[in-house]
């Protein structure tokens, strides 16, 4: 094999690999289990913290629209995941999808970034967990840690958070014991979380003031007033932590651009549904249950995000919202101390399910990469009695727990956004490519060597992706306010539409799946554009940290993964003809019918 061929070799999946129990994991998760897992992973701290932050500093009362826009964008990404889950019901999520469609090198990049996403996500949620426990115990935990476990080391957290480490390791041991047990706990916590959020939304109806959606500009703290306030904490509370004050009042105090900026932030509140896609080998009838669970969980999360943000902005003026604990403060303000306590309980449950869902996903990605030989073989061990990836789970939990204990991960949270958005983009491109590969049926596509498949659709997809990236860069960095950029944007948009029409005129695959993305290739292309635009909005420091992480990954891949890949031996066999692949697929279908 040539060096480039090794980087682009694709994973081939046999029919036996898709059979029940073939991978050693236990198929025990129902649609309800998966939906609870998705809701728990997605409807976490965002409902209790992010809602207030976006309303105060970006969107104002129009945060409701920001969540709606972000929810629609997430549904597009969710549809692409759902179709691939119907095609390839295996563990590994976007990593596996990329491996069977684009090639090994790109798959490793996606898998390596998914690991980063889950590690940082676990660490940040665990430290937030400590903060809410501190509130429930009357503000005793953090002062104790700050006094007795203080770390005077730059770039590390102010104190050693042993509570965060203990929380992560407890969840890790629970996942080692069994998937069904952890799924049961997830359902309990998720149900309690939804009850608390429903309580918040209903109670808000009795205290809402519609005038808070039409506040006059003269009543809003402006920049000069903020400058006169000396106390830093008071300035943060009253002046939105913005040098230009708190906007112009009304429903959209920061204008339509604020709504869009808020939607970009709210989009990350929906990150987490992809945990469902990692359960391909543990779900019952994954081709049907995974797509359904993804779409239902996204719908539930979008509804509750919009309901709670509506309640919050009607109960108090947007510029008086507390950024750290908005609902707790607003209920305390009106004298509903019991409600404030219940909100804290709901936040703890939400953080528990979010942490459990994220920790569930990480070892599954590590397991898939280790089984393919791209990571060390020890991570592929599955306990015969527990039916769980013990080594991958323990090592993942120890890594995340250490990060949570030692580091202040606030500055690193954006890093997980890169991995997530990159995975979303690649999955959308993969859906577009597979939909127009009609030489063989679905299973045969996964088994076929690269020479059997059409390469023209891959080239067209890459060209569309390149033009979408340029278009997103022009709009993000230069805007469309002057004539020159408007002309450039128009030319790029017309070129992209022409390419999509050319792709759409190609014959599509006639394979019948449990779920398919509608309006292909336009929906996947729109999803790619949204994801790329959001990536380009991230700070340069975030991209630098991302490059450091990728440098470590390339060392692992080029010194170990490329030579230990399972496809290294598979590609030594004679190529399979398209005719024999069709015959094999037909025989398999006949056996299934029997």
Tens-digit pLDDT profile for residues 218-276: 788 765 555 444 444 344 444 555 556 688 888 899 888 888 888 888 887 887 788 88
**Residue 166: beta bridge partners?**
none
Residue 417 within any structural domain of the chain? yes
Residue 50 maps to a domain:
yes
3 state SS for 279-294? HCCCECCHHHHHHHHH
Asked, for residue 227, whether it belongs to a domain, the answer is no
**At 304, which helix (H) or strand (E)?**
helix 286-315
Query: What is the dihedral sign for C-alpha 52, 53, 59, 64?
Result: negative
For 408-467, write each residue's pLDDT tens digit: 665 556 666 777 788 888 889 888 888 886 543 333 444 444 443 445 788 889 999 999
Would you tell me how many other CB atoms lie within 10 Å of the CB of residue 248? 15
509 within 8 A of 436, measured Cβ to Cβ: yes
Domain residues for 105? 3-13+24-215+250-435+539-587+589-593
Query: Residue 245: what pLDDT?
Result: 67
Please give the residue that has the higher pLDDT: either 9 or 569: 9
From residue 287, alpha-carbon distances to 91, 156, 312, 325, 365 in Å are: 13, 44, 39, 40, 19
Using the structure block, give the residue that is written with the tokens 């607003």.
330
- 234 within domain boundaries: no
pLDDT score of 440? 37
Q: Which helix (H) or strand (E) holds 534?
A: helix 522-536
Q: Is residue 156 part of a domain?
A: yes
In a domain, 205, yes or no: yes
Q: Total structural domains in the chain?
A: 1
pLDDT beyond 90 at 554: yes
Q: With contact defined as beta carbons under 8 Å apart, do 221 and 239 qualify? A: yes
C-alpha 265 chain-centroid distance: 13
Reading the block at residue 336, the tokens are 């509903």
Q: How far apart are CA 352 and CA 354, in angstroms?
A: 5
pLDDT per residue over 47-57, tens digit each? 777 888 888 88
- pTM above 0.85? no
Contact 468, 496 (CB under 8 A): yes
Give the mean pLDDT of 473-498: 91
Residue 243 counted as domain residue: no
Short-list 349, 363, 438, 431, CA closest to 397? 363
Hey, what are 580's tokens?
């024999």
CATH number at residue 354: 1.20.1740.10
Assigned domain for 447 exists: no
What single string gives the DSSP state of each residue in 243-281?
A: TT-STT-SS-TTHHHHHHHHHHHHHGGGTTGGGGGGGTT
């Amino acid at each position: 094999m040539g060096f480039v061929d090794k980087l682009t070799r694709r994973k081939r999946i046999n029919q036996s690999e898709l059979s029940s129990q073939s991978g050693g994991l236990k198929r025990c998760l129902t649609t309800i289990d998966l939906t609870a897992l998705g809701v728990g992973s997605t409807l976490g701290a965002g409902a209790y913290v992010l809602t207030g932050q976006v309303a105060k500093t970006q969107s104002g009362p129009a945060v409701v629209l920001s969540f709606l826009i972000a929810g629609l964008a997430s549904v597009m990404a969710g549809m692409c995941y759902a179709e691939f889950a119907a095609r390839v019901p295996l563990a590994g999520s976007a990593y596996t999808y990329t491996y069977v469609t684009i090639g090994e090198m790109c798959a490793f990049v996606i898998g390596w970034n998914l690991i980063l996403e889950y590690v940082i996500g676990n660490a940040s949620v665990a430290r937030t967990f400590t903060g809410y426990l501190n509130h429930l115990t009357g503000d005793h935990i953090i002062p104790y840690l700050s006094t007795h476990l203080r770390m005077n080391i730059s770039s590390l957290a102010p104190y050693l958070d042993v509570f965060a480490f203990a929380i992560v390791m407890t969840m890790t041991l629970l996942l080692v014991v069994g998937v069904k047990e952890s799924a049961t706990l997830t359902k309990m916590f998720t149900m309690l979380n939804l009850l608390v959020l429903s309580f918040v939304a209903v109670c808000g109806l009795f205290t809402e003031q519609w005038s808070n959606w039409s506040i006059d500009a003269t009543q809003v703290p402006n920049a000069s007033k903020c400058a006169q306030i000396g106390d830093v904490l008071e300035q943060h509370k009253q002046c939105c932590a913005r040098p230009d004050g708190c906007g112009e009042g009304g429903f959209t105090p920061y204008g339509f651009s604020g709504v869009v900026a808020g939607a970009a932030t709210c989009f990350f509140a929906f990150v987490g549904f992809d945990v469902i896609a990692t359960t391909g080998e543990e779900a019952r009838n994954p081709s049907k249950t995974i797509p359904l669970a993804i779409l239902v969980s996204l719908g539930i999360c979008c509804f509750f995000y919009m309901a709670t943000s509506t309640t919050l902005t009607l109960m108090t003026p947007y510029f008086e919202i507390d950024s750290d604990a908005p609902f707790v403060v607003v209920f305390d303000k009106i004298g509903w101390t019991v409600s404030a306590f219940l909100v804290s309980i709901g936040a703890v449950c939400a953080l528990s399910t979010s942490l459990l869902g994220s920790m569930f996903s990480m070892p599954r990605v590590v397991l898939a990469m280790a089984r393919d030989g791209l990571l060390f073989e020890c991570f592929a061990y599955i306990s015969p009695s527990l039916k769980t990836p013990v080594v991958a789970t323990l090592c993942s939990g120890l890594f995340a727990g250490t990060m949570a204990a030692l580091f202040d991960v606030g500055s690193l949270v954006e890093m997980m956004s890169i991995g997530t958005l990159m995975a979303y983009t690649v999955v959308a491109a993969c859906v577009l490519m597979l939909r127009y590969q009609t030489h063989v049926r679905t299973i045969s596509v996964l088994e076929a060597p690269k020479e059997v498949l059409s390469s023209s659709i891959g080239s067209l997809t890459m060209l569309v992706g390149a033009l979408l990236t340029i278009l997103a860069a022009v709009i993000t960095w230069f805007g469309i306010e002057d004539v020159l950029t408007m002309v450039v944007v128009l030319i790029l948009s017309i070129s992209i539409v022409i390419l999509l029409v050319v792709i759409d005129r190609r014959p599509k695959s006639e394979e019948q799946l449990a779920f398919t993305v509608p309006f292909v290739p336009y929906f996947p292309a729109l999803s790619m554009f949204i994801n790329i635009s959001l990536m380009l909005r991230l700070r340069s420091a975030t991209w630098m940290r991302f490059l450091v992480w990728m440098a470590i990954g390339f060392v692992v891949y080029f010194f170990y993964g490329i030579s230990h890949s399972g496809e290294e031996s598979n590609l030594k066999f004679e190529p399979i003809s398209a005719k024999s692949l069709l015959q094999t697929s037909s025989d398999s279908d006949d056996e299934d019918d029997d």
